[in-house]
Chains A and B, each alone.
Chain A
Amino acid sequence: MAGSIYPGDELLMFAFNAVMHNTVRQSFRGTAIFGYGYIGAVNTSLTNLVSNTGVVTTDVTGVGTARYTPAAAGYGSDKAIFGYGYANYYASMTNLVSNTGVVSTDVTGVGTARQFLAAAGYGTDKAIFGYGSPPMTNLVSNTGVVATDVTSVGTARNSLAAAGYGTDRAIFGYGYPAFSMTNLVSNTGVVATDVTGVGSARGYLAAAGL
């Protein structure tokens, strides 16, 4: 959009992302990244970095398979990973993000292809993808390697959100169509059973650590 300060941002409809774990956002030197989504009727792999003061930068041309409804989380001490989503088919590929926000090309997927999942960091340097359609969890090592499927614990659901909390744990919560339960994740990546929900049941939300 000519003359726009941030041309193209308005097209990023489904901006799923999230460097949710505090470890990563700090090691990103306080920055974060939005990525992938949906532009009109076309999937995108555009990314937008967020400065350490919360300012969103202009679009960066995407790398990797354009898709929407992936999930993302931090891993290692300073990196992030986008994974899964819908690319006109259920996808399972992942894309690693460097500590300067550079997204790498597709890594062949591991685990069940799915969308509408969530992800968060846990431990001090690992991440977890969880739930979605179909529901499943996959742990991510501190080098960004995705492990095979682990059967989901708790209520199967999609369009939920996840974030890191405490110093080394994560939480999945809410979900479509109208769930409000949460599931805590230990610092070894074990997902606990449902915790009765608090707050309004809902899906298609977002979460982040703070």
Chain B
Amino acid sequence: MPGTFDTRLQVNKVIQGYTEATVNLGVVNTGVTLTQNYGTVIYAQLTSATVTVFTMPPAVLGKRFTLILTQANTGSATAGTATFTNVRWPNSPGLYNVSTLQLSRDILSFISDGVNWYGIYSVNYSYGVADKAIFGYGAPSGVSNLTNLVSNTGVVATDVTGVGTARQYLAAAGYGVDKAIFGYGFIGGTPYSMTNLVSNTGVVSTDVHWSGYC
């Protein structure tokens, strides 16, 4: 009940298998105010070539939270950077320098003594890089739904038996962090407005039909 102190949490209690509430701030730009109101595990991704100022919540004794910070999906030359208000880092007056590798992740934990926030960090976790490609569909003789994956070194793999409606004159693009989509297309004289999503391992999913001509 709001406003009522729960004596069950006073002392020497065991909490098992708990999960902290998470908040995903998505891609952040020049400034963002952190709050623990909606979760104590906060996700954010930097914007390329942008300094993001993270404004900390009010310092309250005993408060703590974790920030999982993902670098932009660009090369180091255009990496985003991060600064924090009212945070003391190890090896005072140490600083935290965000990892600059594409899509690298840093994990930052913060705890407050009521005056300051203290930051502890582990950096440069591998998170995920979109580094492959896929060719798909087309017309070898009639229409096809064959796909061919391309490795991160540019090597094309053999045909993969297709999924989805065979067609040609379609288009494709990447979306999300590491996925792709084939869309639209043409069979004989008929246009189609279906799409096929592609997983981050190159697996093409079945047709998603939008409207008409499907």
- Taking Cβ atoms with an 8 Å cutoff, the residues of A that contact B are 1, 4-7, 9-27, 29-34, 37-38, 48, 50-54, 56, 77-78, 124-125, 161, 163-169, 171, 173-174, 178, 182, 184, 195, 197-210
- Count chain A CB atoms within 10 A of each CB in B75, B130, B144, B199 and give the residue with the most: B130
Query: Which chain B residues lie closer than 8 Å to A53 at the CB level?
Result: 175-176
Q: Which residue on chain B has the smallest CB distance to residue A176?
A: B139
A208→B169 contact, CB < 8 A: no
Query: Which chain B residues lie closer than 8 Å to A78 at the CB level?
Result: 48
A52→B176 contact, CB < 8 A: yes
Q: How far is the CA of A178 from the CA of B153 in the complex (A)?
A: 24
Query: Which chain A residues lie closer than 8 Å to B174 at the CB level?
Result: 19-22, 24-25, 32, 163-164, 208-210
B173→A54 contact, CB < 8 A: no
B148→A199 contact, CB < 8 A: yes
* Total of A-B residue pairs, C-beta within 8 Å: 256
Q: Which residue on chain B has the smallest CB distance to residue A73?
A: B173
4 A-B pairs besides A9-B193, A173-B150 with CB distance below 8 A are A26-B103, A26-B130, A26-B177, A125-B74
Q: Which residue on chain A has the smallest CB distance to residue B130?
A: A22
If A77-B74, A200-B144, A210-B200 touch, whether A56 touches B156 (CB-CB below 8 Å) is no
B48→A171 contact, CB < 8 A: no
Determine whether B26 belongs to the interface, using a CB cutoff of 8 Å to chain A: yes
A30→B154 contact, CB < 8 A: no
Determine whether B22 belongs to the interface, using a CB cutoff of 8 Å to chain A: no
Determine whether B42 belongs to the interface, using a CB cutoff of 8 Å to chain A: no
B133→A171 contact, CB < 8 A: yes
Q: Which residue on chain A has the smallest CB distance to residue B201?
A: A210
Q: How far is the CA of A6 from the CA of B198 in the complex (A)?
A: 21
Q: How far is the CA of A124 from the CA of B200 in the complex (A)?
A: 20
What's the minimum C-beta distance from B47 to chain A, rounded to whole angstroms? 8
List 7 interface pairs A-B (beta carbons < 8 Å), by A numbering: A4-B211, A6-B193, A18-B172, A18-B173, A56-B183, A167-B152, A182-B156
Within 8 A of A (CB), among B142-200: 144, 146, 148, 150-154, 156-159, 168-186, 191-193, 195, 197-200
- Count chain A CB atoms within 10 A of each CB in B130, B144, B170, B172 and give the residue with the most: B172
B173→A32 contact, CB < 8 A: yes
If A32-B181, A208-B198 touch, whether A25 touches B130 (CB-CB below 8 Å) is yes
A1→B135 contact, CB < 8 A: no
B171→A163 contact, CB < 8 A: no
Ranked nearest first, the 9 interchain pairs of A and B with the lowest CB-CB distance are: A205-B138, A26-B73, A10-B212, A22-B130, A204-B168, A13-B191, A32-B173, A206-B172, A15-B184
Contact of A34 among B103, B134, B151, B171 (CB under 8 A): B171
Determine whether B125 belongs to the interface, using a CB cutoff of 8 Å to chain A: no
Q: How far is the CA of A77 from the CA of B151 in the complex (A)?
A: 23
B184→A12 contact, CB < 8 A: yes
